[in-house]
Structure 1
Amino acid sequence: MMNPVRHLYIHVPFCQRRCAYCDFNTYANLEHRIAAYVEALCQELDSYARQLGRAPAAPPEGTAAAPLTRAALRPTIFLGGGTPTMLSLAQIERVLQAADAIVPLAEAEVTTEANPGTVIDEAYLRGLRSLGINRISFGVQTFHDPTLRVLGRIHTAAEAIATYRQALRAGFTRINLDFIFGLPGQTLAQWTQTLDRLIDLAPEHVSLYSLILEPGTPLHRQVTSGSVRVPDDDTTAAMYELALERLAAAGYAQYEISNWARAAATSGDQELPAGACHHNVAYWLNADYLGCGAGAHGHRYPQRWHNVLGVEDYIAAVRQGRLPIAETSALSEDDLFEETMLMGLRLNVGVSYAHFRERCGHDLRAIYGATIDELVELGLLTADAVGVRLTPRGRMLGNEVFARFLRERTTSEAIRPSLRT
């Protein structure tokens, strides 16, 4: 039997309508295939449960303090999409029962993404909570209704706020609200109004992402043709800086480039805030994880893989009694070094020496000492007795910092045989 995994991603690719900016593996108008998909998904989960067994229990309370390593995280299950809330409660229960054989529900942070336009009512939210889901993430994107229509979202600002309040009444305390800035026609004044309403709602967790125009999406075509305009880079940067300032003043701690959680008064600079999403932190710590569902990605060093994309192809593969893997890629030791740095530096706590050694089996400075010293000299990185992290300026120039770790590896053949996972 293979070693268990502690982090599980489950992809639900169905949407009522595909958003104009989305390039995820999602499909509209396939509601009639949800039941067959859920059956296949449970079979895939059962296959992995037989191979892997069950993940160990969560770490004791208080182990998430610095230095942060993978062992400090709770086991996690994350239902993403697409729109998981297009599934009925009975269907979600089946999926979670199958997932429980891999990652124990009682021990885990269990998150579902949700579109405010597909959440039926407060009773549905209470049902989600009763099934063991203890964290929910709503894709709000903006509180400006005309922009929501341009994006192809099926909810209004008022409906998003109402759904958030329903989730509170349903017993959810761990709620994330997702927003995008740099949207078509968005002004700094509109973004300020969105931040004002967000802060008034006071969710425990906030995710803010800069719009990425993905080739092949309707929005990319509209911008390329000139029929839609987006803010320039300077305005988008000003929106991000305004968010940094306003959220900090409202009592939120930024713990990753795009993520904030309410800060406890006793939180230190080296700690994750209590409301941090452990599933996403697992990605940033370059942890192994299992991905199930159409198009889902998995990572178990020294390999990563992704499943077939199409819903019908996925269902057919599982019915044939095989794992629906489309492609597997081998990862080298250098890949492990690079990805551990590039992902970990997204966290405000950075990459600790303890984490790098625990993940990579080597001393961080033995691999990247010269690069670290140069970036410290440039004011882009801070190094202390715990580890290394981006400075505020380094976060604004993150791509430049990350590039240094890609092109200035100092791996020697002499240390390769001691690799540890």
Structure 2
Amino acid sequence: MSKGKIMGRQSVWSLYLHIPFCATRCTYCAFNTYTDRHALLDDYVKAICSEIGSLNNFNHRIHTLYFGGGTPSLLRPFQLEEIISHVLINFTYSPSLEITQELNPRDATEEYLHAIRKYVSRISLGMQSVNPSELQMFSRDHEHSHVVQAMEYARQAGFDNINLDLIYGNPGQTLDMWRDSLHAALELDPDHLSMYALSLENGTELKRRVTYNELPLPDPDLAADMYELASEMMEQAGFTQYEISNWAKPGKECLHNIQYWKNLPYLGMGAGAHGYANQTRTVNVMKPEIYIERLKNLPPNPLPFPQTPATMTAEPIDRQTDMFETIFTGLRLLNEGLSLTAFEERYGEKLEAKFADEIRRLTRMGLLWQDGDALKLTKAARLISNRVFQEFAVEEET
């Protein structure tokens, strides 16, 4: 078989659906979201259903479906049902299909959660912080009391897989403030916690305020201390850190995100959604009104898979780039690690032979270790994981 081909076959796929509408825009957010176009929501639902039905010759099984945004909880329950019904009609799916919906805690009312429980198996609440001043700095439109109430309603509705999102390394945040947020999150007894270091993205209000000295520059050393504190507290609370930024109780890992970290195929639908399939990276048109128009005027002939009428760009991913992405995403899985056997099956080469020097050097530095069939980051490497990943970013040999 040609060395230039990616040999492995992946039988299970994932589907990401982007809902780009928000009530307010968070100051740290650089995602494709809009606060002034809610009138488009009905047409948008029709458009995303049209895109779901537009794929040509898709014969794979999906095992996860993820509603992200934006704010997917702006979808009314009947709209959510309409979209999910189109997915189930147009795709072969796993009997244990994981369906995740992100929710603004303020939207997670008793009535709403009971209504969506019929379709959704997992929810993710954007808690972010327990501190009112931080929530205000982020322009979040909820208070911590909304998170507390949402958790209570979610359990009453029967949800047994609930994630809370937290952000650390914030301007002006102290270690004690972070500890308070961790304690508050653990008191709510979630099944999963995602914790992300704040990234000051270009074009965001938060970066503008830091740039103009309206807010202090975050301290990376303090952020590292916060990460270590979180790791300690999560371990004491019985959570397993299965990925660099994610902790879960046994059996509550997010299967959709594991699909990303194993660099396995997923379809992205909705305005601005990204996908990765057939060694092609796709990006959809960004603006909801253009997206809607594209799906109203379907081309007479089906487009080559994985493109849809909403596709803006379809970029082929070369073998070397795909290999590098498989390495750095796989190493993010701290427990499972990067499977040497799976790598060889996928690329027809042994990882430990192709990158022998890099692995040897990183092992001597105490940043990598081999555990049976898996290559894993050491605990010391978790804070400098990007340094480890870059060691594998080499040019294809000629």
TM-score, structure 2 as length reference: 0.92
* 1:199 corresponds to: 186
2:232 equivalent to 1:286? no
* 1:386 corresponds to: 373
CA distance in 2, matches of 1:259, 1:4: 25
CA distance in 1, matches of 2:342, 2:32: 32
In structure 2, give the amino acid aligned to 1:400.
R
How large is the RMSD of aligned CA atoms in angstroms?
1.7
CA distance in 2, matches of 1:159, 1:365: 50
Report the secondary structure of 2:27's partner residue. Answer: coil
CA distance in 2, matches of 1:124, 1:347: 34
- For residues 192-271 of structure 1, the aligned pairs below 5 Å read 192-263=179-250
2:306 equivalent to 1:329? no
Q: CA offsets, 1:208-246, max 9 Å, x none?
A: 000000011011000000001243111111111100111
In structure 1, give the amino acid aligned to 2:312.
A
* 1:52 corresponds to: 58
CA distance in 1, matches of 2:21, 2:77: 15
Q: CA offsets, 1:109-139, max 9 Å, x none?
A: 11011111223x2121111111x21000011
* 1:9 corresponds to: 16
Segment drifting more, 360-369 vs 307-316: 360-369
In structure 1, give the amino acid aligned to 2:388.
V
CA distance in 1, matches of 2:70, 2:279: 28
* 1:97 corresponds to: 85
2:141 equivalent to 1:154? yes
- Alpha-carbon contact 1:5-1:102 (below 8 Å) kept: no
CA distance in 1, matches of 2:277, 2:296: 25
- Alpha-carbon contact 1:303-1:329 (below 8 Å) kept: yes
- Alpha-carbon contact 1:5-1:289 (below 8 Å) kept: no
CA distance in 2, matches of 1:250, 1:103: 38
- Alpha-carbon contact 1:116-1:140 (below 8 Å) kept: yes
- For residues 3-42 of structure 1, the aligned pairs below 5 Å read 6-42=13-49
* 2:281 corresponds to: 304
CA distance in 1, matches of 2:92, 2:18: 16
Q: CA offsets, 1:164-219, max 9 Å, x none?
A: 11111111000000000012221111111111111221211000000000011011
| Count of paired positions | 379
2:333 counterpart (347, 372, 380): 347
- Alpha-carbon contact 1:11-1:295 (below 8 Å) kept: yes
Instruction: Give the superposition deviation at 1:37.
Output: 0.4
Instruction: Give the superposition deviation at 1:328.
Output: 1.1
* 2:50 corresponds to: 43
Report the secondary structure of 2:99's partner residue. Answer: strand
Gaps of 5+ in 1: 57-74, 264-273, 414-421
Q: CA offsets, 1:292-336, max 9 Å, x none?
A: 000001111321110000001111111110411111111111012
In structure 2, give the amino acid aligned to 1:16.
A
2:113 equivalent to 1:107? no
CA distance in 2, matches of 1:86, 1:103: 27
In structure 1, give the amino acid aligned to 2:328.
L
CA distance in 2, matches of 1:359, 1:146: 48
In structure 2, give the amino acid aligned to 1:13.
P
CA distance in 1, matches of 2:11, 2:234: 38
- Alpha-carbon contact 2:61-2:94 (below 8 Å) kept: no
2:94 equivalent to 1:87? no
Instruction: Give the superposition deviation at 1:358.
Output: 3.2
Instruction: Give the superposition deviation at 1:354.
Output: 1.9
CA distance in 2, matches of 1:95, 1:302: 27
CA distance in 1, matches of 2:100, 2:238: 23
CA distance in 1, matches of 2:76, 2:298: 26
CA distance in 2, matches of 1:78, 1:159: 23
In structure 2, give the amino acid aligned to 1:196.
H
Report the secondary structure of 1:388's partner residue. Answer: strand
Gaps of 5+ in 2: 1-9, 300-308
- Alpha-carbon contact 1:89-1:124 (below 8 Å) kept: yes
- Alpha-carbon contact 1:20-1:151 (below 8 Å) kept: yes
Instruction: Give the superposition deviation at 1:5.
Output: 5.7
CA distance in 1, matches of 2:383, 2:78: 45
TM-score, structure 1 as length reference: 0.87
CA distance in 2, matches of 1:93, 1:53: 23
In structure 1, give the amino acid aligned to 2:104.
N
Report the secondary structure of 1:10's partner residue. Answer: strand
- For residues 160-175 of structure 1, the aligned pairs below 5 Å read 160-175=147-162
* 2:362 corresponds to: 375
In structure 2, give the amino acid aligned to 1:108.
L
Instruction: Give the superposition deviation at 1:399.
Output: 1.2
**Cα–Cα, structure 1 residues 412 and 185, in superposed 2: closer, same or farther, change >3 Å?**
closer
- Alpha-carbon contact 1:8-1:103 (below 8 Å) kept: no
Instruction: Give the superposition deviation at 1:54.
Output: 5.2
